[in-house]
Amino acid sequence: MLYVVECAYTDPKSEAAWNTFYNREKLPALVSVPGFHASQRFCAFSEGCPRYLALHDIRDAAVLDSDAYRRNGGGYFARWQSAIADWHRHLYLTTHALREVAPDEVLLLSDTAEALPVAAPIVLQPGGLATRHTRYAAIVPRDDLHHRVTSAAVFIYQPITARLRHPAEQA
């Protein structure tokens, strides 16, 4: 299951500190929660979409109701809350987990499979929370992006962290 969090951040003066907090404290705390398998964070490379995106591979929706999630992951944004905008959480069912998006790649998201420049996009089916629509994802090299993506209906995200894995699952 894929847990997706999208948001914007509205205070340019504290944005660098917020990103440092999220990347160095928030993500490691989340992947320490039982049921979280891996997490990676992204920043928008295109216009018209939430600036920040976090993808979390989780066991199931019950993880988000656990005490461990409430203690380590969900909700401790008080210092930053006033600057977080356009915040949305989604749960998707996938046929397989998304792999890490490397620094020289981008993640593409769209509401239509046809908009993505790949033969077999990853299908993200609604799986809970307020998620109502199927989305499609693909990972492509950043170098030839301008040749491959020709639609404004495609949101482009570049990774801003490596993919963190739950400590018990690291090889």
Instruction: Enter the pTM of the model.
Output: 0.92
Q: Looking at the predicted structure, is the pLDDT value of residue 53 above 60? A: yes
Name 54's bridge partners: 5, 41
Q: How many residues does the chain have?
A: 171
Q: How far apart are CA 38 and CA 165, in angstroms?
A: 4
What pLDDT, in 10s, does the model give residues 81-109?
A: 899 999 999 999 997 778 999 999 999 99
Number of domains in the chain: 1
How crowded is the C-beta side of 14, counted as CA atoms within 13 Å?
13
Q: Would you say 109 and 137 are in contact if contact means Cβ atoms under 8 Å apart?
A: yes
Domain region containing 131:
2-169
Residue 63 or residue 117, greater confidence: 63
Q: Which pLDDT score, from 0 to 100, does residue 95 have?
A: 79
CATH of the domain at 123: 3.30.70
Q: What is the mean pLDDT of the chain?
A: 90
Residues 4-48: pLDDT tens digits? 999 999 999 999 999 999 999 999 999 999 999 999 999 998 888
